[in-house]
Amino acid sequence: MNTPPIARRLLAELLGSAFLSALVIGSGIAAQTLSPNNTGLELFENAAATAAGLYTIILMFGPVSGGHFNPVVSLADAAFGGLSWRDALAYIPTQSAGCVLGAVTANGMFALGAVTISTHHRASPAHLLSETIATAGLVLVIFSLARTRRSHTTPVAVGAYIGAAYFFTSSASFANPAISIGRIFSNTFAGIAPASVPTFILAQLAGGALAVLTIKVLYPGVTPADAADVLLPHAEHPTTTSQPASS
């Protein structure tokens, strides 16, 4: 069995990241519109849509690319040998471009300017600690399931974790450098000011590194074959040609 060609995998990562960004930002805009001045309800609506949507997006694109949509996940996968470093470095700009595309699309769907730079500053010490913890938890969920041969549960587990992390972290759990970049381009409920993004990304990378070290302690037997199934198995099965029955 071989993985799909890199072009197909990059297209899957681009489209999946775009859907993810449009989902997060679009549901945030809808929540602001439907529940004005009720931040708790707005956050609940945003979190519920994100949790459910992320589950389905992973199911759609995971069988092609693994369904990473997140540079930290791709880097962790490369660290465990499930993805080559060359492919990981190709995934990362593709994921970031997809998230920008999704932000522009979400703005358009709600009749906003295609690009509206966010003024929502978020980079407090509490936010950065939250991003470190949220990202570490996400990577732990993904790779612990891969190591214990439960990758089939990853889509629902990741969706549930991110939905919960909206509420147990003060940052609302971005946990993804690509989505952090994409959310710059929408001055709405889910946006983030450009000045906050570099420290958010550093915190997310730190969380990913912490998770990789923790996984190596908890699951010292993680193999490249285990990591290759992140988030979903995406090897192509060889096609077989049926032979006519002999008379």
**CA distances for 245 relative to 104, 239, 240, 241, angstroms:** 56, 18, 15, 12
Residue 12 lies in a domain: yes
For residues 159-168, average pLDDT: 97
Please report how the helices 125-147 and 154-168 are oriented relative to each other, as an axis angle in degrees rounded to 10.
160
Q: pLDDT band at 225, cuts 50/70/90? A: confident
Residues 196-219, mean pLDDT to the nearest whole number: 97
| pLDDT of 109 higher than 90 | yes
Cis omega (within 30 of 0) on the bond before 213?
no
pLDDT at 157 over 90: yes
Whether residue 197 is predicted with pLDDT greater than 80 in this model: the reply is yes
Q: What pTM did the predictor assign?
A: 0.92
Q: Is residue 74 part of a domain?
A: yes
Question: Quick one: which of 31, 26, 24, 25 has its CA closest to 45?
Answer: 31
The answer to whether position 236 is within a domain reads: no
Residue 14 lies in a domain: yes
Structural domain for 51, as ranges: 6-227
Mean pLDDT confidence for 90-117: 97
Q: What is the mean pLDDT of residues 207-219?
A: 96
CA angle 41, 45, 46 (to 5 degrees): 115
| Confidence at 84, pLDDT banded by 50, 70, 90 | very high
From CA 63, how far away is CA 247, in angstroms rounded? 39
Is residue 212 situated within a structural domain?
yes
Give pLDDT, residue 227: 85
Q: Are 141 and 157 in contact (CB under 8 A)?
A: yes
Domain-located, residue 246: no
Question: Looking at this protein, which amino acid is placed at residue 60?
Answer: M
Token pair for residue 155? 């889509």
Tell me, yes or no, whether 1 lies in a domain. Answer: no
Say whether pLDDT at 165 is over 50.
yes
The residue with tokens 């001045």 is: 37
Average pLDDT, whole number, for the chain?
A: 93
Q: How many domains does the chain have?
A: 1
**226, pLDDT greater than 60:** yes
Per-residue pLDDT, 236: 66
Residue range 18-64, pLDDT digits in tens:
999 999 999 999 999 999 999 999 999 999 999 999 999 999 999 99
pLDDT at position 180 is 98
Report yes or no on 159 lying in a domain: yes
Determine the Cα–Cα distance for residues 40 and 52; give it in Å rounded to an integer: 18
Please name the residues in contact with 242: beta carbons below 8 A apart, sequence gap of 6 or more.
none
Q: What is the largest CA-CA distance in the chain?
A: 77
CATH at 176: 1.20.1080.10
Which of the two residues, 236 and 126, has the higher pLDDT score? 126
Highest mean pLDDT among 20-29, 146-155, 218-227: 20-29
Q: Is the pLDDT of residue 245 over 70?
A: no
For residues 219 and 244, what is the distance between their CA atoms, to the nearest angstrom?
48
